[in-house]
Every structure is written in structure tokens, then in C-alpha cells.
């Protein structure tokens, strides 16, 4: 059978597919536009497409691929880039790549951002590099301790639970969480406390986002949510950019109504700012730490994603139910 991979991924996944099927790999390390994607798959009779979260797969792309297309294997944990309803109507399986390796990597990056923002690490680095350090000063770059803080997690899936291990068990922080599905067993095991979304936002010193991007979570953090948060609170986003109303956060930061924002994802990604013509810019603020969507960027995690993405395709093409169906 024939498989199309939209851009290079770790070799381990490609080799798994090549052992049993014919693989066409888009060699350029760039994102294909919708027009290019359609041209790449039209009349090629691919049975499977291994795509990335940066590939928008809608009904037009699926139509161009043809009725023989059986599976869209997303090299990502999220799958907001794929039209799930359209795929369901066409009986195309959509799979993703959640794993322990990815959960740990993203949780570690999340925790790194929490600590870096709390202790003003990036700001201090810039300060020292600029030659501004003139000697020890008791008031220089005062940050926040972590151990006595309340951390609020919006979303308690695999990644959220790994964050809990580090915040609660490693640093002794109080952890609140909100999720559509309450996990009583995990509460008992870990000492985390369930809270309503409103209570969590009001009481947390650090709010970290771990929900998928859905219509219901788009702009979950809005002006309304920010007004509930402490003026000293820190916001962390390693989930998806549009979960946060970036303009609302920027206004809160400029008005000193939010303590800081650390993000690995952007609302208008890959653009850093949605509106470059206005006065509000993330990159101008010392209270902002940005990383370019690298929360899962470890060799172990990326190899695990490649193996899972490939195995999902192999399972579907052999008539098996893949381990990770996007829902």
C-alpha cells in the first residue's frame, strides 16, 4: 500500500513503514500550503497520510486524496488541525501520538517555564549579558518562591498528572485542578484538590493550561478569566495558542494586572503577535518568556512520536484497531 509523509520525521518511523509499504516522503522541511497538499495527494491513491500538526487537513484535502484513503496519522498529541467530522463521514481513521515520553517532556518544559518565570531567569540572563550587573544588591531582580504557592491546572490528562508529580511531590506546592472529568483516585493518590474553574483562577498563584484546543476551549483564558486571577499570578501555556486570547493577556500584562506569561505556543502561530500593528508586543515585555513550540522537543519523545505515528498506520492498513484513535 502507499503512504505519504508530509515532511521528514525521525528515521525510525519512516523505516518501520518502508519495511511493509511504499513510502513517499516530502523532503523539504517546511509546511505545505493547502494548495500544495492537494497537489501532492491528488490522483496518487495514497492509503495513508502521516501529517503534522501544522498541516491543515480538511474535506478538500481528503477529497483530493481519494476514497481509498484509510488513515490520517497525526504526528502530534493534539489533532485540531484535522476535520474529524469530515474524516468520520468518509470513514477515515484519525490517529495521534500520546505517550509517556511526550507527557514527561512537556511536563518538564512546563515546569521549567514555571520556575524560570517565577525566578525571572530569562530577564536576569539578559540583564547580565547587557553588562548591567554591578554587584550584589538585596533588591536586584526579586522573584517568587515556588514551594509555598498554589498551582492551578486547567486540564488533568497525562501531561497534567506529570506536572503534578513535579509541583506537588517535588516542591510541595498546593495543586488545584479543573477538568470535565473528575479523577477521585488521582486526588487521593497525589493530594491534588478539585476546584471549579472560577475558584481555581481566583486562588492560584500559577495557572497552567493542559486542555486540547476545541471550540469550547478557544479563548478559555479571556478578559473575563484574567479578571478573576491575582494581579501577581503567572500564566503558563504549553497546550495550544488559541486557548489564550493573546490580546487580552497582553493588555493585562501592560496594565500590570497579570504577573507574567510563559508560552510555548502562540495564538497566531507561527506569528509571534497576532497584530503586529498595535502597541502590544510579547517580545517587548520582561514579564514574558517565549519558546518556539519545543515542549516535546527531546530525542526520546520525538522518536516515540515517530514510532507511534508509524504503528498507527501499520495497524489500520493491516485491519487492526490502532492504539491511539483521535476522539
Q: Is 240 considered catalytic here?
A: yes
Residue 189 annotated as catalytic: no
Q: At what angle do helices 100-118 and 121-129 cross, to 10 degrees?
A: 60
Catalytic choice (109, 210, 293, 302): 293
Report the candidate in 190, 158, 157 with the shortest Cα–Cα distance to residue 174.
190
Secondary structure of residue 25 in the 3-state scheme: strand
Q: Which of 36, 108, 269, 281 is labelled catalytic?
A: 269
- For residue 219, what is its C-alpha cell? 479563548
b/e code 254-269 from CB counts within 10 Å (16+ = b): eeebbbbbbbbbbbee
Residues 6+ apart with CB under 8 A from 137: none
The C-alpha cell at 172 is: 510541595
Going by their DSSP bridges, the two strands 48-52 and 71-75 should be labelled as parallel
| From 240, 246, 267, 302, active-site residue | 240
Give the three-class secondary structure for 38.
Answer: helix
Q: How far apart are CA 185 and CA 225, in angstroms?
A: 28
Return the active site residues: 240, 269, 293
Amino acid at each position: 500500500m502507499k503512504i505519504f509523509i508530509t515532511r521528514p520525521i525521525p528515521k525510525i518511523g519512516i523505516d518501520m513503514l518502508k519495511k511493509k509499504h511504499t513510502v513517499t516522503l516530502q523532503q523539504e522541511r517546511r509546511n505545505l500550503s493547502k494548495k500544495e497538499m492537494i497537489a501532492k495527494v491528488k490522483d496518487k491513491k495514497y492509503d495513508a497520510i502521516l501529517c503534522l500538526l501544522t498541516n491543515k487537513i480538511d474535506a478538500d484535502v481528503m477529497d483530493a486524496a481519494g476514497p481509498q484513503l484509510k488513515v490520517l496519522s497525526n504526528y502530534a498529541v493534539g489533532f485540531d488541525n484535522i476535520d474529524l467530522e469530515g474524516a468520520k463521514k468518509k470513514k477515515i481513521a484519525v490517529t495521534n501520538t500520546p505517550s509517556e515520553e511526550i507527557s514527561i517532556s512537556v511536563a518538564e518544559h512546563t515546569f521549567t517555564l514555571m520556575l524560570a518565570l517565577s525566578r525571572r531567569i530569562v530577564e536576569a540572563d539578559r540583564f547580565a549579558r547587557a553588562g548591567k550587573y554591578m554587584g550584589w544588591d538585596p533588591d536586584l531582580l526579586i522573584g517568587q518562591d515556588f514551594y509555598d504557592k498554589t498551582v492551578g491546572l486547567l486540564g488533568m490528562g497525562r501531561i497534567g498528572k506529570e506536572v503534578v508529580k513535579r509541583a506537588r511531590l517535588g516542591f510541595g506546592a498546593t495543586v488545584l485542578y479543573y477538568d470535565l472529568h473528575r479523577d477521585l483516585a488521582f486526588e487521593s493518590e497525589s493530594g491534588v484538590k478539585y476546584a471549579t474553574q472560577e475558584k481555581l483562577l481566583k486562588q492560584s498563584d500559577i495557572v497552567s493550561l493542559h486542555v486540547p484546543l476545541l471550540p469550547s476551549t478557544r479563548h478559555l483564558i479571556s478578559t473575563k478569566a484574567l479578571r478573576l486571577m491575582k494581579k501577581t499570578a503567572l500564566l503558563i501555556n504549553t497546550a495550544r495558542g488559541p486557548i489564550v486570547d493573546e490580546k487580552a493577556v497582553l493588555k493585562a500584562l501592560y496594565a500590570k494586572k497579570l504577573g507574567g506569561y510563559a508560552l510555548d505556543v502562540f495564538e497566531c502561530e507561527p506569528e509571534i503577535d497576532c497584530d503586529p500593528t498595535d502597541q502590544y508586543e510579547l517580545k517587548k515585555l520582561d514579564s514574558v518568556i517565549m519558546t518556539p513550540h519545543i515542549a516535546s522537543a527531546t530525542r526520546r519523545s520525538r522518536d516515540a512520536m515517530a514510532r507511534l505515528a508509524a504503528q498507527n498506520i501499520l495497524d489500520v492498513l493491516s485491519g487492526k484497531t490502532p492504539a491511539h484513535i483521535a476522539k
